[in-house]
Amino acid sequence: MWICVKWEWRRQTRQARFWGSLAALAILGVLFAYGYSQMRGQADIQAILGRVAGNGFFVPILALILCTGVILPFFTGVVGADLVSGERQLGTWNILLTQGVSPWRLYLGKWWFGAGYAVLAVLVLALSALVSGMVWFGMRGAAIPSGVMVSPAGFLDIVAVMAGYTAAGQIVVMTMSLLVSAFSRMTVSAIMVAVGILVFLSMLGDIPFLAATQRFFFTSYFSRVGDVLSYPIDWAPLLRGLEVYAVYMTLFWAAILWFQPFRD
Amino acid sequence: MAVAVEADKLTKQYRDKPALQDVSFTVPGGSALGLVGPNGAGKSTLLRMLLGVSRPSSGRILYDGRPLWPDPARVMDAVGGFVDAPQFYPYFTARENLSMLAELRRLKPGRVDEVLHYVHLEDDAGRRVGGFSHGMRQRLGIAAALLKEPGLLILDEPQDGLDPARLEEMRQLIIRIRQDLAPTIIMSSHVLQDIERLCDRIAVFDRGRLRYCGPTGGLGNPDGDEVIWEVRPIDMALHHLRSMGFEVWAIGDGRIAARWDESHELGSINVSLISAGITIRTVMRRSASLESRLLRYLEDDHVDMR
């Protein structure tokens, strides 16, 4: 299986879109630092984050909170949705099957790559924002909105936990997109379905009568990354979110095991 | 070592449309079977099932007595080939594409250069496949199929889209593979001369059914002569010749063919056609080709002759 991961990695890194997506996330981190600098003049935002404005640690925190619902799922969703459908569309999936390679090995290899990409995407965003914040504002201990004073090391803990939780959510997004991809022959249709599902789930809260159902879906647990912003860290909401993620991961794997859509 | 193939009552259904119905045949180890038939006859569907790409709706495939389905990956060790035009990652070089396949199959690394040399792609091994011509991709497809030193080689229209020079190269390559490796070969083609030249057995498909499977010489009468007329209108000419007792059939491009023997007098037949208001553009007498025999076979709507 690791041979599959190695070649999948090599295949993806040969394509400009892989580096383009990571570059876009890195630029986004810098843009968040710029946007954070502009908050100083905005009275309404200062009322919320008045105590913390001007601290570089808050750049990655804001970047993760604001990107976890839409932007990161878009990137991981697109990459995951292309993994099998892209091979089918190109015709290389057939060559792999005719070589007698087990499609399960291929699928697992693609999942590991996709999970790696999800983690990498979160890391690139968080690190870019952290470095930008450090350069722009410097790093120091500060009081978080709950009023607790947090040291620089404590802030680093918070950022690391937020990044880990966000990455876990993105792995679930990628697993769902990979499942969609396995059923599709065309990349565009797989991306549309995967991203469409994510958009629909995130819009559920705004739809009358359906808003109450949002809590049953994994996407509504992305925002719990904001609950990390307490010190000491309150693990309960995060663990609840991770449990939901685990349930959905199990469902997605059960679906692929049940349908095995690898051959016509 | 050559692999014997047995297909037993293979059926493939796409929703409510049958693509292949109740197909059974055997291919002895070391022989070459050519699949022929019109577009949509089910040839590629069969090859996809033989290569483990498509799952049969019912029936079974045996390779040396071992069932291919439900887990083709366990039985494909000695099977190589491609279906549809072989496709590779355009951003990888030819060597990288094959190295990936070789590593996935845990083959020895030197095998890649051996097969690239065998199909005369060694000078282009370091080039990206995205810049390859169609003929080079076809040869790379054969190289990929040969990676495992297959006992069964399955090729879907390997000559498709090649110019005459590349076509002859491909013929020579397949002949060389038969001589050097002696695998069982199953290949489809619309170039019937190639099937006649490269294969010792032929399977005729039409509308998802296997109409004939046996020696190439067994299809129709290979020794008989025929006369080809290019005429207008075809329907009237067919009707007229049939009323005169001829076995006659359309062979496309405004041409009809009739089985011929020496008791007939061609001149008087032509006069009779012209008198009936039929325009004759050309007339030609020749030994019955495989193409003509095949078309007559399909037109006659014969029952399965196996």
> Structural domain boundaries of chain A?
2-259
Task: Please tell me if residue B51 touches chain A, with a CB cutoff of 8 Å.
Answer: yes
Regarding whether B136 and B67 lie in a shared domain, the answer is: yes
Task: Average the pLDDT over A158-171 and give the result.
Answer: 93
Does residue A19 have a pLDDT over 80? Answer: yes
Tally of domains in chain B: 2
- Per-residue CA distances from B79 to A25, A117, B150 (Å): 45, 34, 5
Q: Please report, for the domain that includes residue B86, its CATH number.
A: 3.40.50.300
Q: B181 to chain A nearest CA, in Å?
A: 18
Does residue B268 have a pLDDT over 90? Answer: no
Is A94–B83 a contact, with Cβ atoms under 8 angstroms apart?
A: yes
| Interface predicted TM-score (ipTM) of this complex, two decimals | 0.85
For residue B305, tell me if it sits in a domain.
Answer: no
Does residue B140 have a pLDDT over 90? Answer: yes
pLDDT, tens digit (0-9, with 9 covering 90-100), for B52-83: 999 999 999 999 999 998 888 888 888 999 99
Peptide bond into B158 cis (omega under 30): no
For chain A, the 3-state helix, strand and coil shares in percent, each to the nearest 5, are 80, 0, 20
Does residue B196 have a pLDDT over 90? Answer: no
Does residue A47 have a pLDDT over 60? Answer: no
Does residue B215 have a pLDDT over 90? Answer: no
For residue B300, tell me if it sits in a domain.
Answer: no
Regarding whether B160 and B61 lie in a shared domain, the answer is: yes
Long-range contact set of residues B237-241: C-beta below 8 Å, sequence gap at least 24? B237/B273, B237/B278, B240/B272, B240/B273, B240/B276, B240/B278, B241/B269, B241/B273
Q: Please report, for the domain that includes residue B276, its CATH number.
A: 3.30.70.100
CB A95 within 8 A of CB B86: yes
Which of B76, B77, B88 faces A92 most closely, judged by CB atoms? B88
Owning domain of residue B282: 225-287
For residue B137, tell me if it sits in a domain.
Answer: yes
Regarding whether B176 and B134 lie in a shared domain, the answer is: yes
**pTM across the whole model:** 0.83
Task: Please tell me if residue B205 touches chain A, with a CB cutoff of 8 Å.
Answer: no
pLDDT, tens digit (0-9, with 9 covering 90-100), for A89-108: 999 999 999 988 999 999 99
Task: Please tell me if residue B107 touches chain A, with a CB cutoff of 8 Å.
Answer: no
Regarding whether B204 and B73 lie in a shared domain, the answer is: yes
Q: What gap in Å lies between CA B303 and CA A264, rounded to an integer? A: 30
Instruction: Name chain A contacts of B80, Cβ cutoff 8 Å.
Output: 98-99
Say how many residues make up chain A. 264
Token look-up 């080079």 returns B136
Token look-up 């060559």 returns A95
**For chain A, what is the mean pLDDT?**
88
Regarding whether B173 and B84 lie in a shared domain, the answer is: yes
- Per-residue CA distances from A54 to A30, A36, A231, B217, B230 (Å): 15, 8, 19, 89, 90
Regarding whether B93 and B10 lie in a shared domain, the answer is: yes
Does residue B166 have a pLDDT over 80? Answer: yes
pLDDT band at B222 (very low <50, low <70, confident <90, very high): low
Regarding whether B206 and B230 lie in a shared domain, the answer is: no
Amino acid at B76: M
pLDDT, tens digit (0-9, with 9 covering 90-100), for A236-252: 888 999 999 999 999 99
Instruction: Name chain B contacts of A3, Cβ cutoff 8 Å.
Output: 103-104
Indicate the range of A152-166, B34-48, B279-293 predicted with least confidence: B279-293
Contacts of A44 (CB under 8 A, 6+ apart): none
- Which of B53, B82, B93 has the most A C-beta neighbours within 10 Å, making it the best mutation to test the interface with A? B53
Regarding whether B46 and B173 lie in a shared domain, the answer is: yes
Q: What gap in Å lies between CA A36 and CA A47, rounded to an integer? A: 14
pLDDT band at B139 (very low <50, low <70, confident <90, very high): very high
Regarding whether B161 and B131 lie in a shared domain, the answer is: yes
pLDDT band at B167 (very low <50, low <70, confident <90, very high): confident
Does residue A189 have a pLDDT over 90? Answer: yes
- Which of A5, A98, A101 has the most B C-beta neighbours within 10 Å, making it the best mutation to test the interface with B? A98
pLDDT at B303: 40
Q: What gap in Å lies between CA A184 and CA B233, rounded to an integer? A: 48
Regarding whether B141 and B14 lie in a shared domain, the answer is: yes
Between residues 51 and 80 of chain A, which touch chain B (CB distance below 8 Å)? none
Q: Looking at the DSSP assignment, which residues form a beta bridge with residue A142?
A: A150
Q: What gap in Å lies between CA A44 and CA A7, rounded to an integer? A: 50
CB B234 within 8 A of CB B248: no
Which of B76, B80, B89 faces A92 most closely, judged by CB atoms? B89
For residue B302, tell me if it sits in a domain.
Answer: no
Does residue A146 have a pLDDT over 60? Answer: yes
For residue B111, tell me if it sits in a domain.
Answer: yes
Q: Taking chain B, what is the end-to-end CA distance rounded to the nearest angstrom?
A: 27
Regarding whether B252 and B204 lie in a shared domain, the answer is: no
Q: Looking at the DSSP assignment, which residues form a beta bridge with residue B229?
A: B256, B283
For residue B295, tell me if it sits in a domain.
Answer: no
Does residue B304 have a pLDDT over 50? Answer: no
φ/ψ (deg, to 5) at A27: -65, -40
